[in-house]
Structure 1
Amino acid sequence: MLLLQQEFGLDPQQYIPPLISAVTTVVLFVVVFVVLYLLGKYFVTRAVGGGLRHRDFDETLVGLAVSTTVGVVAVVAVALAATVAGFGVVLAAFATLAGALALAVGFAAQDLIANFVAGVFIIQDEPFTVGDWIEWSGNSGVVREIQLRVTKLDTFDNQLVTVPNSDLASAAVVNNVANDRRRVSVGFGIGYEDDVERAREAIVDEASRIDGVLDEPAPTAPVTELGDSAVVLSGRVWIDPTESGYGGVRAQFLEAVKARFDAEGIDMPYPNTELSGGIEVTNVGGEEETAM
């Protein structure tokens, strides 16, 4: 062994200082990282979570903020530990690579990010909550679940609809059960020869008999249109949408008024058109046969 060391000029002692230096650097990096990470995770996450809960933020957003804070604390701890340990060059290269990756991921996942941000605003602003009946862009459904990326709804045909949150955030959303009262309006056409007051009394009387219709505001039936073939009265009742279904009350209203009009002989005319003028009928040869 001594002969080999002399022949190739190998001296084990010359590798000991660099090895000790490398081990010391790694140990210093690990110790600094662990200390900074644990302290930051304990104090910063508690401060973030407590601050958001104090401002009555939704628990979903609080959990998301706390998880994000843990990730940020880990990145900062790595950066500071690398700086203290003397990994400045490596840290700079890592930062450049991370920036390029973040830019590429941002372009590739812009739709996902848009849905995510929209979900945060939906959860925080609460334009609707689970169980609400909403309408948007010609669609409607009852909210089953609100997630950070999508919202799941059940249609009235019991179909599950999954909608990206960005679609709901950018559309005009109608919440049909947000208020404690909602009006149900149904148009009833009567003939021009029929008595308007008599028809109005029949509509209002039948409306007051329907379960779920509120006494205040009272049912009304103003004339809203003089159509081509009918005088239209708008039967209007108010309901509590949390206790009575809009569709059920409307269906009962229609059936009750139809039966009452039939019983009292009040006409409900269908659209008709009267033609005036004259026509001429000719045979194939072009000779005139009949004139009217």
Structure 2
Amino acid sequence: MSGIDIAALGAKYAGLLSQLAEFALVTVLLYLPARFVLRPLVSHGLARWNLNRTLEQTIEKALGVVTVLVAVVAGAWAAGFAGLLGGSALFFAALTLAIGFAAQDVLSNFVAGIFIVQDPNFNIDDWIEWEDKAGFIDDIGFRVTRIRTFDNETVTVPNTVLATTPVTNRMSNETLRISYTVGIGYADDIDTATRILLDAAADHADILDDPEPSVRVAELADSAILLQSRFWIADPDREDFSVTRSEYIQETSERFREAGIDLSTTTQHQLSGNLSVDTDPRE
């Protein structure tokens, strides 16, 4: 009797192992051609269509997920697992409920990712700022977006955060305005200081002539007159912004010194200058 039970048990597990082997074989045979033939062909076709890089990567990721699902479902069906599970409506109901609770955040981030991808002003390599953080978009996934900071660190941000939080894109337009505020003493000539700021902008190769640079009296502070210089750069990115800012500050500082305008009489904040950027085309 014991021998018969062992034999039956062995036959049962042998059948299960056979099903598992068939499942693995069919899954692999379907996945490998799709992974190494179909997906490269699709990627090549997308490249020829000159699609936006963000959309191209999203399509490739979606194709990868579909490839795995199709291979797994086909393997399960061929091995007979689909029929085994299909007979239990209660099992599927419990499984669906469990997945629903476990995947709430995943699904919300997935939906948010779809909205992010379809936004033409939100693309790979864009320089964005959100919640006092900043960096370049490296990748937009189904759950998170990966941001490369200016210190070359990678930050993973849930898609729902970027979809529901105000995000500033410094590269969404063809031009970017830089506003630089500097303080001069009350004994200094405003017209001379204004001319220095405008000439420094006019002489810089990367600062645009149109829109024209401008200088305004921003504030009469306790110890200084604050002048705000505004100028524009084209095709902005973080490197262009940083280099242009540094060169402009250095050049204006040297010209102020040559003109006898002593910035050291101002407070430390005014001496260093207050530099901001925006993409508002209005003066």
Fold-level match, TM-score > 0.5?
A: yes
After superposition, residues 33-72 of structure 1 pair within 5 angstroms as 58-59=55-56, 64=62
After superposition, residues 45-124 of structure 1 pair within 5 angstroms as 58-59=55-56, 64=62, 94-124=88-118
Question: Cα 1:191–1:259, aligned 2, differ >3 Å: closer, same or farther?
Answer: same
Counterparts of 1:108 and 1:218, CA distance in 2: 56
Question: Cα 1:235–1:168, aligned 2, differ >3 Å: closer, same or farther?
Answer: same
Please point out which of 188, 198, 201 is paired with 1:207: 201
Please point out which of 238, 246, 254 is paired with 1:251: 246
Counterparts of 1:142 and 1:250, CA distance in 2: 19
Question: Cα 1:235–1:193, aligned 2, differ >3 Å: closer, same or farther?
Answer: same
One-letter code of the match for 1:258? S
Counterparts of 1:171 and 1:239, CA distance in 2: 27
Give the aligned partner of residue 271 of structure 1: 267
**Is the 1:184–1:237 contact (alpha carbons within 8 Å) kept by the matching residues of 2?**
yes
Give the aligned partner of residue 162 of structure 1: 156
SS of match in other structure, 2:88:
helix
**Is the 1:228–1:271 contact (alpha carbons within 8 Å) kept by the matching residues of 2?**
no
**Is the 2:170–2:236 contact (alpha carbons within 8 Å) kept by the matching residues of 1?**
no
Higher relative contact order (CA 8 A, sep 6+): 2
Do residues 134 (structure 1) and 128 (structure 2) align?
Answer: yes
Question: Cα 1:147–1:270, aligned 2, differ >3 Å: closer, same or farther?
Answer: same
Do residues 260 (structure 1) and 255 (structure 2) align?
Answer: yes
After superposition, residues 171-182 of structure 1 pair within 5 angstroms as 171-182=165-176
One-letter code of the match for 1:251? S
Counterparts of 1:208 and 1:95, CA distance in 2: 75
Query: 1:65: how far off?
Result: 7.9
**Is the 1:219–1:235 contact (alpha carbons within 8 Å) kept by the matching residues of 2?**
yes
Give the aligned partner of residue 198 of structure 1: 192
**Is the 1:119–1:148 contact (alpha carbons within 8 Å) kept by the matching residues of 2?**
yes
Structure 1 unaligned regions, length at least 5: 1-52, 79-86, 273-292
Give the aligned partner of residue 278 of structure 2: none
Give the aligned partner of residue 276 of structure 2: none
Counterparts of 2:93 and 2:59, CA distance in 1: 27
Please point out which of 206, 214, 230 is paired with 1:236: 230
Structure with larger Rg: 1
Deviates most, 145-154 or 221-230: 145-154
Moved over 6 A (4+): none
Q: What percent of counterpart residues are identical?
A: 38
Deviations 1:173-217 (A, max 9, x none): 111011001101110111112111111001100111123100101
After superposition, residues 141-160 of structure 1 pair within 5 angstroms as 141-160=135-154
Deviations 1:45-78 (A, max 9, x none): xxxxxxxx9xx9945555638966976xx79xx8
Counterparts of 1:183 and 1:199, CA distance in 2: 20
**Is the 2:185–2:223 contact (alpha carbons within 8 Å) kept by the matching residues of 1?**
yes
Counterparts of 2:172 and 2:155, CA distance in 1: 21
TM-score when normalising by structure 2: 0.64
Counterparts of 2:64 and 2:99, CA distance in 1: 22
One-letter code of the match for 2:256? F
SS of match in other structure, 1:221:
strand
